[in-house]
Structures are given as structure tokens and as C-alpha cells.
Amino acid sequence: MGVRAESTPNPNALKFTTDSLIFQGESSISVMPGDTSEHAILNDLMELNGVDNVFGYQNFITVNKGFDVEWDEVQPQVMEVFEKYGY
């Protein structure tokens, strides 16, 4: 398995796509500051310093960072969370 980070039109967002399904069903999941999700991976991502919000659907999670944080700081931590969950 693997996780691929892809750029998006928003420079503060990266899309992390896996080879396997993360979320079942046809509904997307968004977690904003102060919210929690029934999906532990999203909650763990929200706890990372610099992460502003997350959006998940089927085999990907888009992570939005704060304006004052660089991807060099955030992306390795995001990848560690994916690895923790076996992706």
C-alpha cells in the first residue's frame, strides 16, 4: 500500500490518496476546528500542529493547513498518521 500526496488548486491543501478504502459509503466527512469525527484518523490529523481542517471521501483525505505553516513541517506528520493506521 502507499499514500500519495497531490497538490490541489488551493496552496494550503494537499490531497492524500491511498490504494485502499478509508471510508465506506457515498458520504464525505469534514472536520473543522473544534469538531470531532467518528473516524479516529481524522481526529488524529486535526490534532497536528498547523492542520486547520480535513475532508475525507472513500480513498482520500484532503488536509488544509494554516496560512502561517509550511508543508515541510506538516506533511511528514500527516504521513506518520497514515502509517499509524496502516496506509
Mean predicted confidence (pLDDT) in 23-47:
97
Q: How far apart are alpha carbons 74 and 67 in whole angstroms? A: 12
Burial 50-61 (b: 16+ CB within 10 A, else e): bbbbbbbebebb
Asked whether the predicted pLDDT for residue 52 surpasses 90, the reply is: yes
Mean predicted confidence (pLDDT) in 72-82:
98
- pLDDT, residue 3, reads 97
pLDDT band at 8 (very low <50, low <70, confident <90, very high): very high
- pLDDT, residue 54, reads 98
Model confidence, pTM = 0.95
Asked whether the predicted pLDDT for residue 1 surpasses 70, the reply is: no
For residue 35, the domain's CATH number is 3.30.1370.70
User: How many structural domains does the chain have?
Assistant: 1
